[in-house]
Amino acid sequence: MGYRLSKIYTRTGDKGETGLGDGRRVSKDHPRIEAIGEVDSLNSQLGILLAGLAESELDEVYEILAPCQHRLFDLGGQLAMPIYQALNVVEVERLEAVIDKWNEELGPLENFILPSGSLLVAQAHVCRSLARSAERRCQQLNSVEPLEGVGLCYINRLSDLLFVAARIIGKRQGVAEVLWRAAGEVQAE
């Protein structure tokens, strides 16, 4: 990708439209722009999680999740330039292998858990929920303009990885999972 931004503002979007990489202009609330925005939000929140992981010396989790930021940027590029395909099945398989490895270590989940326990666990869940939102926006776009490649599969698997990452972060921190209790259940102290 040789094109770089030399000027941040262009004034071309002041009337509610923006340009895509293929030259088309679309409204800023077009499903494609909504999908790009959700992927960008996820990427920003993932950056916060990665900063926290780096400070907490959770190197293994950091090294697994750090490439995901780059792949999310690739996905955003694919959404902005519909003929551009950067993601491939190898990326999806990488996520699946990590999910399987971490799940084996964690064992089966026997209760619903809450996005809580530590700041990093909660942030991983924020990222997971944003991945689901990005996936919904991409699916909405796909129903209007079919998407090529493995982007939908990647974002789906990434949300799964982030759920398992939240659990593995808690385990590495020695933080117990916060189990959901139905309304009316007695709270044990």
pLDDT (0 to 100) of residue 117: 86
Whether residue 185 has pLDDT greater than 90: no
pLDDT (0 to 100) of residue 30: 87
CB count in 10 Å sphere of residue 93: 12
| 19 within some domain | no
Which residue type does 27 have? Answer: S
SS3 assignment for 100-165: HHHHHHHCCCCCCECCCCCHHHHHHHHHHHHHHHHHHHHHHHHHHCCCCCCHHHHHHHHHHHHHHH
| 3 within some domain | no
Q: At what angle do helices 151-173 and 89-106 cross, to 10 degrees?
A: 30
| 188 within some domain | no
pTM: 0.88
Whether residue 8 has pLDDT greater than 80: no
| 179 within some domain | no
| 124 within some domain | yes
Q: How far apart are CA 52 and CA 184, in angstroms?
A: 35
The 10s digit of each residue's pLDDT in 23-81 is: 788 777 789 889 999 999 999 999 999 999 999 989 999 999 999 999 999 999 999 99
Tokens 């395909």 -> residue: 85
The two tokens of residue 137 are: 């926006």
pLDDT (0 to 100) of residue 3: 58
The 10s digit of each residue's pLDDT in 130-170 is: 999 999 999 999 999 999 999 999 999 999 999 999 999 99
CATH (domain of 164): 1.20.1200.10
List, in order, residues 6 or more apart from 77 with CB less than 8 Å away.
1, 21, 84, 86
| 156 within some domain | yes
| 185 within some domain | no
| 20 within some domain | no
Which one-letter DSSP state was computed for residue 12?
A: T
Please count the structural domains in the chain. Answer: 1
Burial of 134 (0-12, 13-18, 19+ CB in 10 A): buried
The 10s digit of each residue's pLDDT in 71-126 is: 999 999 999 998 888 999 999 999 999 999 999 999 888 889 888 889 999 999 99
CB count in 10 Å sphere of residue 29: 9
What residues make up the domain containing 75?
A: 25-173
